[in-house]
Amino acid sequence: MAGIYPIRYPRRQASRWCLRQLTGGLIRHFGDLEVAGLEHLPKAGPVILAANHFAFTDAPLLLYACPRLVEFIGGAERPNSPVWTRMIPQSWGFIRAYRGGFSRSTLTASLGVLEQDGVLGIFPEGGNWANLLRPARPGLAFLALHSGAPVIPVSITGSDTLLAKPRERVGVQFHPPIPPPMISASGRAKRQALDAFSETVMAAVATGLPDAQRGRYAADPAARIAAEAVSAFPFHAPEMRGM
C-alpha cells in the first residue's frame, strides 16, 4: 500500500468522541453495563476485535466499551436493523462489507487500518440473524493471516434484550489475545488451517456467553441442535451485497 490508505487511522476523533458519549449515556440508561477484561487490550499496535453478533446494538456496545478508537466492518445492507438505528453507523463511519462474495475494497480498507496500528472490529458470523453463536465467515482468519495482528475474542451478552428489558445486565468481555495464524500450506490445507483458527477464536467467544447461546460449543445437546438450524449464511442473494 506504500502509505496510501483508503481510511486514515485515526479519523473523525472529535465527532466520534461526541458519539461515544451519547451512545454510552443511552446504553447506561437502558442497561446495567459491565465491561471486563480490558487488561487484555494492548495500549498500542494493531489488533482485531472479534465479537459475537446477536443484535443491532452490538456495534455501539463494542465502540463504547473499547477505550481505543475502533474502525469496524459492517454490512453494506443491514436488513435486521431498524431504520432509525442506521444513523449511528453512518455518523461514525464504517468499512462496508458486501456480503455473499469477495470484496477487495473491504479487505484493502481493513488491512490498511491494521497497517497503521489501528483497532479493527469485526463480527465474524457476518450478520445478526440469530441470538446464538454461529460459525465464523472466512474473513476473520484471512485478515489475521495477512495483517499479522493478534485477535481478541469479545463476548457481548444482553444486547438482544437491551431495549426490550430495561436495566437488564449487559456485558462486554475482552478475552486474552490469540496470535495470528502462521500458515505456509496452500490450497485445501490452507483453508483447513484458516478454519481451525476461526474455530479457536469462536470457541473463546463462546466461553463468555450463556450456555444456551454458545451454539456448537454449548454443553446442552438441544442448544447444539438449535445452532445447526441457523448456521447457514442467509445473505448470498444479490440484493444483500449492497452493490
* Interval 45-59: pLDDT, tens: 999 999 999 998 899
- Give me the mean pLDDT over the 68-92 stretch: 74
Supply 69's cell numbers: 478508537
pLDDT band at 127 (very low <50, low <70, confident <90, very high): confident
Q: The whole model's pTM is what?
A: 0.90
Instruction: Point out the least confidently predicted range of 72-76, 124-128, 144-148.
Output: 72-76
pLDDT, position 234: 76
E strands, 12-163, where? 31-36, 47-51, 70-75, 95-97, 119-122, 151-157
- Give me the mean pLDDT over the 98-113 stretch: 83
Residue 101 pLDDT more than 70?
A: no
Residue 138 pLDDT more than 70?
A: yes
Strand partners, 50: 122, 153
| Greatest Cα-to-Cα distance within the chain, rounded to the nearest angstrom | 51
Q: Say how far apart CA 130 and CA 152 lie, in whole Å.
A: 22
Q: Say how far apart CA 173 and CA 154 lie, in whole Å.
A: 6
Averaged pLDDT of the chain: 88
What percentage of the chain carries pLDDT values higher than 70? 89
Residue 50, CB half-sphere, CA atoms under 13 Å: how many? Answer: 37
pLDDT, position 241: 45
**Per-residue pLDDT tens digits for 178-231:** 999 998 888 989 999 999 999 999 999 999 999 999 999 999 999 899 889 998
Supply 146's cell numbers: 495477512
The radius of gyration of the chain's CA atoms, rounded to the nearest angstrom, is 17
Residue 199, CB half-sphere, CA atoms under 13 Å: how many? Answer: 8
Residue 177 pLDDT more than 90?
A: yes
CA nearest neighbour of 33 among 66, 71, 56, 80: 66
Helix, strand, or coil (residue 109)? helix
Cβ count within 10 A of residue 46: 20
CA nearest neighbour of 70 among 92, 52, 88, 54: 92
Q: Environment class of residue 73 by beta-carbon count within 10 Å: exposed (0-12), middle (13-18) or buried (19+)?
A: buried
Q: Say how far apart CA 198 and CA 73 lie, in whole Å.
A: 17
Q: Environment class of residue 167 by beta-carbon count within 10 Å: exposed (0-12), middle (13-18) or buried (19+)?
A: exposed
What percentage of the chain carries pLDDT values higher than 90? 64
Higher-confidence position of 171 and 87 = 171
In sign, the C-alpha dihedral spanning 188, 190, 194, 200 is positive
pLDDT, position 53: 95
pLDDT, position 97: 83
